[in-house]
Structure 1
Amino acid sequence: MVHKDCTQLPRIIKLSRHVHCIFHKYFLEDLTRKNCKICFNEVKLNRGSYSCVKQGCSYVVYVNCVLEDKYLYKVIEEEKQCEELYEKPMQSSIIHVIEVNEVGEDTKIEHFSHQHCLVLANKMEEEMDRKCDGCMLSISTLFYYYLQCLFFLHKTCAEFPRIKQHWFDKGSAILCFKDVQYCDFCYQYCSGFFYKIENFWGMCLRCAKVDDIIKCEGHQHFLFFDFKCKEKCNDCGNSCGHGAFRCGECKFALDFRCLTLPHSAHHKVDEHMLKLTYDVDNEQSYCDICEQKRDPSLWYYSCSICDTSAHPKCVLGQFPFLGDGSRWPYKRSHNHDLYCFRKVEGYPKCSCCGKLCQEEILKCEKSTCNYIIHHECPSY
């Protein structure tokens, strides 16, 4: 027995959260215990569901879960359309491959984000801390570069497609290269690669790398993204107002901002790399940078050699994912374009408040103009 409305359910849909098309079934034939990949509750065998028919794929979701948000699925009229979707090639970010080595790796390429050819390398020629111009994280693995421009891209970042279907929306996500953009997911000002997703300003590449079901080092169970989650984030303690990654087995949640924190970071407070630490600190805890108390239940950066510990915001600063010299796209009352810098030499005075500038300022593009301002200061 079924509701009248349920007799009209679409037979095949393409859900943004799964790579294959999924098919409606009134009963599950596979008797293996499975959880719905959206709500993570156990799927009852005698209840309607949508499941994947691809061999070896056990993806299954409840009807109510999959049809709850119209922005996450589209109806497929005929089964042959499924194969057309699978065969549709993704547009590559690599415009042209110039050289390939003996193991098939692209060693010299033309990339849409840079005017010069990029060469593959596995280590820096000099000891220097360089960031990937795509995701703005430190270079630590295979990367492409053009040394004269000091332009670097992780190999994985260079290979991200220009157009893809992201699990957060059924529409196409288009990759673009921005000076500075505000990410709608981690709420950070970032430079580098962004995916423009329908109904959103943009998603930075760090957030775009995250799947909807993940395993996080800071938790023992799998986490899945729940669009309705309003719990407090277990890292920063703030409420997750627009959904979060949560655990289906215990009360644990993480927002995009905390989930995409760098696993390690440099800071002048310590000569070693500081590691993101997830363990609860039962002792009286202080931040070695701001010298204020830390909440021992929240994540922090630490050095086990020097016994250093600090708040993530103190280690990373206000704009950890902005590249120096990136043009600030938001209008100020100053006549010239302003550029972002995370550090400034000589401690000049802010043109607005008159206080000394040490870190994270906006500076005029004109060398003859001494206009410098803190980001948080009004420019009028």
Structure 2
Amino acid sequence: MQSSIIRVIGVNEAGEAAKIEHLSHQHCLVLADKMEEENDRKCDGCMLPISNIFYYCSECPFFLHKTCAELPRFKQHWFHHSNATLNFDSFKWCNFCRRSCSGFFYEIGGYLEICIRCAKVADIIECERHQHFLFFDFKYREKCNGCGIWCRRGAFRCGKCRFALDFGCLTLPHSALHKIDEHKLKLTYHDDKEQSYCDICEQYRDPSFWYYSCSIYDTSAHPECVLGQFPFLKDGSIMPSYFYRNHHHHDLKFFRKVEGFPECSPCGKFCQEEILKCETPTCNYIVHCKYKCRWDN
């Protein structure tokens, strides 16, 4: 199965594929076991921070965890009886974690799209956040204990107590960087305080739901405040037309950082957050990624 995705060019003394060609990228990739410097580089397959052995491109900023590079092109997924096919589109909406994502996706049954973070989750899991095994219950329609959101497509449920998690919480990064703290913030599962607030938005934070924290500076924050609205999108990802309701006729690209505070074409306000930008040379169209600006015009 892998032969259609990877071509090995060279091996190291341990017999590992040290240099490869990968179907998702135009340049050769080289094996490495650590970054040369501390940064927040993400894997272009799963869009999670580089945390273990990985491949990198020496010609452009492209990285793949070794496990992501070695994913099979076709596989059986427990959620559906038909084959799942791996693809490398620039942008997809994951039907499982309900997030917009760049990176690799499996297409299941011709109609379900699942990001590889969700695709790696088994149907029965052992979770460090809970003392019992969790199994996926297709009929579960109650709230997730991690975020409090209603589970619309089932959830991972405990058979011994009233505890359940959705795909969105299960696939959150274990740690994340944010300018509010010089240390990495760790995903935390319970707060003993009666009243809790987010140090980023300064709004109330329910202490029973998951959050990110720093024990050194006593920082705590909502996951969405730490990660942002689009944590798994890569700069330059091309947005499909349904993402912005066809109100612009050219392709728009996603950018996380904005230079020069340009004006949003629909609302006229300055852009300080994520934007969609038209890459056509003769067009200066820019729009906030916020839902209102993308749809209400």
Q: How many pairs does the alignment contain?
A: 291
1:361 aligns with 2:275: yes
Alpha carbons 1:181, 1:190 under 8 Å: kept? yes
Partner of 2:249: 335
1:202 aligns with 2:113: yes
Amino acid at match of 2:254: C
Alpha carbons 1:93, 1:159 under 8 Å: kept? no
1:272 aligns with 2:153: no
Change (3 A) 1:232 1:92: farther
- TM-score (structure 2 length as normaliser): 0.94
Q: CA deviation at 1:92?
A: 4.4
The alignment-based identity, stated in percent, is 71
Change (3 A) 1:304 1:353: same
Q: Deviations over 1:287-312 (max 9, x none)?
A: 00110111111010000011000001
Partner of 1:135: 46
RMSD: 1.5
Measured in 1, the distance between the counterparts of 2:72 and 2:3 equals: 5
1:168 aligns with 2:114: no
Measured in 2, the distance between the counterparts of 1:147 and 1:349 equals: 36
1:223 aligns with 2:134: yes
Give the 3-state SS of the residue equivalent to 2:112 in structure 1. Answer: coil
Measured in 2, the distance between the counterparts of 1:105 and 1:283 equals: 52
Q: CA deviation at 1:130?
A: 0.9
Partner of 1:186: 97
Q: Deviations over 1:147-178 (max 9, x none)?
A: 32211000000001001111111110000001
Partner of 1:159: 70
Alpha carbons 1:334, 1:379 under 8 Å: kept? no
Change (3 A) 1:141 1:238: same
Measured in 1, the distance between the counterparts of 2:282 and 2:42 equals: 29
Q: Deviations over 1:169-226 (max 9, x none)?
A: 1110000001110000000000110000005331001001100111112111111101
Give the 3-state SS of the residue equivalent to 2:96 in structure 1. Answer: coil
Alpha carbons 1:92, 1:159 under 8 Å: kept? no
1:124 aligns with 2:38: no
Displaced runs of 4 or more, over 3 A = 90-94
Alpha carbons 2:44, 2:62 under 8 Å: kept? yes
Q: How does 1:66-81 map to 2 (within 5 A)?
A: none
Alpha carbons 1:373, 1:379 under 8 Å: kept? no
Measured in 2, the distance between the counterparts of 1:188 and 1:162 equals: 22
Q: CA deviation at 1:369?
A: 2.9
Measured in 1, the distance between the counterparts of 2:2 and 2:63 equals: 21
Give the 3-state SS of the residue equivalent to 1:355 in structure 2. Answer: coil
Unpaired segments ≥5 residues, structure 2: none
Give the 3-state SS of the residue equivalent to 2:88 in structure 1. Answer: strand
Q: CA deviation at 1:124?
A: 1.9
Partner of 1:260: 171
1:237 aligns with 2:148: yes
